């Protein structure tokens, strides 16, 4: 009897984990698609690190949290702060500020990747800063995020948990039917 209670408890836990996994992955994939690959959690954008310019502090393939900035806040950073900025139209870069200069047209930052030997060739206008690195990093999670944004990844991350859930349900039903059959055979044998 105790064994059955343990099995029921394990069954309940596994079922719950599979449901939570399926719902979580579905929400993540849908949210990533809706937000054009830029998921945001509690006001922080999650960015995938594509190069090793900030290693060892920020590893290639990591997922980092960047707090979005706007307006005057863009001109308020100090040397040592790690900012994310638009290097060109479609390229974001996350580097450390090495120097801050005030000019007639605004604030200009000189930046450098921690793993680079020299400062970046082009200075960063304060208006090009989109966020500040918060120090939160999930190593290698960026690879998963990038994969989830691909059509194949989206399909797999939605279908695989569903297949696991279906398979687990089939096994659970089969076990339950087996137990019922054994119970019925036992009752029939006792009735004779």
What order do you get walking across the sheet with 44-48 strand by strand? 40-41, 44-48, 63-68, 129-138, 82-88, 91-103, 106-112, 124-125
| Candidates 51, 62, 105, 150; catalytic one | 51
The pair of three-digit structure tokens given for residue 64, joined into one six-digit string? 């980092």
Return the beta strands (E) in the chain as ranges.
Answer: 40-41, 44-48, 63-68, 82-88, 91-103, 106-112, 124-125, 129-138
- The yes-or-no answer on residue 51 being catalytic is yes
Residues assigned a catalytic role: 51
């Amino acid at each position: 009897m105790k064994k059955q209670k343990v099995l029921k408890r394990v069954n309940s836990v596994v079922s719950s984990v599979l449901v939570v996994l399926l719902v979580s992955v579905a929400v993540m994939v849908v949210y990533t698609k809706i937000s054009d690959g830029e998921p945001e959690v509690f006001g922080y954008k999650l960015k995938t690190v594509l190069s090793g310019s900030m290693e060892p502090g920020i590893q290639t393939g990591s997922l980092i949290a960047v707090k979005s900035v706007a307006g005057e806040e863009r001109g308020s950073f100090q040397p040592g702060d790690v900012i994310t900025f638009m290097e060109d139209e479609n390229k974001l870069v996350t580097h450390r500020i090495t120097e801050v200069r005030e000019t007639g047209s605004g604030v200009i930052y000189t930046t450098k990747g921690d793993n680079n030997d020299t400062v970046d060739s082009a200075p960063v206008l304060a208006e090009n800063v989109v966020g500040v690195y918060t120090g939160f990093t999930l190593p290698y999670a960026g690879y998963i995020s990038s994969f989830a944004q691909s059509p194949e990844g989206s399909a797999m991350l939605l279908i695989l948990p569903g297949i696991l859930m279906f398979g687990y349900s089939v096994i659970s039903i089969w076990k339950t039917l087996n137990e019922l059959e054994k119970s019925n055979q036992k009752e029939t044998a006792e009735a004779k």
